[in-house]
Amino acid sequence: MDNFDLIIKNGEVFDGTGAASKKVDIAVKDGVIAKISETILDSADKTIDASGKLVTPGFVDVHTHYDGQATWDDHLNPSSNLGTTTVVAGNCGVGFAPCKPEDHEILIELMEGVEEIPGSVMNEGLAWNWETFPEFLDALEERARDIDIAALFPHGPLRVYVMGDRAVNREAATEEDIAKMKVLIKEGIEAGAMGFSTSRTLVHRSSSGEFVPTYKAATNELKELGSSLSGEKGSVFQMISDWEDADDEFSILRAAANSPGVKGTFTLLDLAPTPNLWREQLDRIEKAQSEGLDIRGQVISRPVGILMGHPASMHTFYARPTYKSLSDLPWDERIEKLRDPAIKARILEEKSESPHVFVEIFEERFKNMYPMEDPIEYLPERENSVTSCAQRDGKDPDEWLYDYLLGNNGNNLIYIPAANFSKNIEEMLTHPHTVSALGDGGAHVGSICDTSANIYVLTKWVKDQKKIELSEAIKMLTRQPAELYSLFDRGLIEEGLKADINVIDFEGLKLKTPHIVDDLPAGGRRFLQDAEGIECTIKAGQVIYENGRSTGALPGKLLRGIQADPRT
């Protein structure tokens, strides 16, 4: 009789392949699934009775921005507490390596503007015990954490490292610049970078308001850099773009994926100003796949949701002069001042000064704002918008919003379903050449909390809407994203693979409303989110969460490049 580290008994096991569930027991030894059988009678150091529960592989989230948080925090929340056991960081061309000491502030401003992580948090939290990208990976590897992390090589820091101020000013790269960048990318891939990422969207700006160094970088530059990727290393070229010339932009992905084994992936959203773009992009993907080019869209299972209010990092009024003059007051004093009719009138008359791009876009789009409910409704009805509420109360929308945000002692929030507020989410999500992603964990800490989008696949599209089969949804959250990044040792419940496992009470599975905490370095605030029904999350055979609470176990590792299937 064998003795295992862990046995999970009596669960309904979904193995991640998309196949129907089976009632089997699972035994774990040394971080690996050692045995699967209808009944396991062997002994174990720990036994979990999963009767009436789902047993799934741990979730794999390929679009996060934990580049900074992973250097100072042992727990990659809000991901690990929601069933995710593997994350990929370094997306969208932003990160912290390579970086010369004199350029630290440039990259902090870049990350503060693009991914909305407060500069004070990064100034205190980042140790900067690296300069090159391989040294950054070494720094990640030194720290214990709860789940596995992998990292893409980001274009923004690379450009600044090679070109200095010319990159910040978005000048064209010379042939010599490109040659230097290619050498560094190859070194990064050899050290374990999962691939390369870039951003070509005007929404991404530094905290100074300037466009990012990669914005409108020449197509030729990106095609040359993409040629540095290695199919043998499982490299992925990741991109976000405004798709002004969609065929030209897509050609960058095609060029990268033309190297055998290299894959391309990009942010795929249904955007109101370009209502046909999502369908055109799926057509481009299908054509590329038919030609043997592995290009896949990344789709979020709900709208990209912005949370605004006094506890958050921004809202309609936060950049107006009178409001800013009160922002350093203690909370209760500030809220009391904001209730003063004279101050209210002054703020309502003022214009914002250099607001974040989110406020620049949505400051007065009251029909796109919704009072945040508990539990939060991610696909709200149009008649519940701020515009509709104001009309019913006989107020102007800006005044109604001002008064609403002061409710609950100033803690009321609004929810803005920004991009992807669409009836086409299901079709995009279930397309054979897309992956569920775009939770952005570790980024937009004071205005977005979308890491629970993986759970939303299960609560909304499987349980409530019954649009997706449960077995297929589990595959979408586990094996599909793992395969995109050549992580062949996980994403399935099969003997010989990583024992990354969730035990879920499916009937009780429910997302809680995001809440603000102030646990970042320098007292920075961020949104976190919890869920009911994730009874147990196991990483490499160790229980890291039980009923939403950390056990303190830190078995997570840095992943370097392709993770081969140990069974082959």
**CATH code of the domain containing 434:** 3.20.20.140
**Which of 484, 507, 535 is the endpoint of a domain?**
484
Residues 365 and 258 in one domain: no
| pLDDT tens by residue, 340-383 | 999 999 999 999 999 988 899 999 999 999 999 888 999 999 99
Confidence check: pLDDT of 214 > 80: no
Residue at 540 is within a domain = yes
Residue finishing a domain among 435, 452, 484:
484
Least Cα distance to 308 among 408, 401, 203 occurs for 401
CA-CA distance, 415 to 370, in Å (whole number)?
A: 5
Q: Rounded mean pLDDT of 523-550?
A: 97
Retrieve residue 51's tokens: 């009767």
Q: Contact at 8 Å (CB) between 515 and 527?
A: yes
44 plus 70 within the same structural domain: no
Mean residue pLDDT of the chain comes to: 95
- Which phi and psi angles does 32 have, rounded to 5°? -125, 150
- For residue 514, tell me if it sits in a domain: yes
The alpha carbon of residue 287 and the mean position of all alpha carbons in its chain are separated, in whole angstroms, by 27
Strands 295-299 and 263-267: parallel
Structural domain range at position 218 = 60-304+420-484
307 touches 372 (CB < 8 A): yes
Instruction: Tell me, yes or no, whether 11 and 118 share the same domain.
Output: no
- DSSP for 92-108? GG--S-S--GGGHHHHH
The verdict on 355 and 443 lying in the same domain is no
Is residue 155 in a domain? yes
Rounded to a whole number, what is the largest CA-CA distance in the chain?
79
**Cis bond upstream, residue 98 (ω within 30):** yes
Do 129 and 238 sit in the same domain of this protein? yes
The structure tokens 């891939």 sit at: 189
Q: How many CB atoms within 10 Å of residue 176? A: 10
Q: Give this prediction's pTM.
A: 0.95
Based on the domain organization, do 108 and 217 belong to the same domain? yes
- Residue pair 87/61 in contact by the 8 Å Cβ criterion: yes
One domain for residues 10 and 119: no
For residue 94, is it within any domain? yes
In this predicted structure, the answer to whether residue 206 has a pLDDT above a threshold of 70 is no
Q: Are 60 and 22 in contact (CB under 8 A)?
A: no
Domain shared by 329 and 442, yes or no:
no
Query: What are the φ/ψ torsions at residue 548 (nearest 5 degrees)?
Result: 85, 0
Percentage of the chain surpassing pLDDT 70?
97
pLDDT at position 204 is 45
Q: Which helix (H) or strand (E) holds 12?
A: strand 3-13
3-state secondary structure of 357: helix
Cα distance between residue 263 and residue 237, in whole Å: 6
Is residue 211 pLDDT above 60, yes or no?
Answer: no
- Closest C-alpha among 1, 73, 66, 113 to residue 443: 66
User: 32 with 79, same domain?
Assistant: no
Domain ends where: 416, 443, 472? 416
- Total domains present in the chain: 3
**Does any domain span residue 239?**
yes
Interval 500-530: pLDDT, tens: 999 999 999 999 999 999 999 999 999 999 9
Please tell me whether residues 83 and 182 are part of one structural domain.
yes
Measured distance CA(27)–CA(276) in Å, rounded:
49
- 118 inside domain: yes
Residue 376 located in a structural domain: yes
The percent of residues above 90 in pLDDT, for the chain, comes to: 89
Neighbours of 523 (CB within 10 A): 11
Say if CB 515 and CB 375 are below 8 A apart: no
Is residue 567 assigned to a domain? no
* Phi and psi torsions of 354, nearest 5°: 50, 55
Instruction: Looking at the structure, tell me whether residues 192 and 290 fall in a common domain.
Output: yes
Judgement on whether residues 316 and 394 belong to the same structural domain of the protein: yes
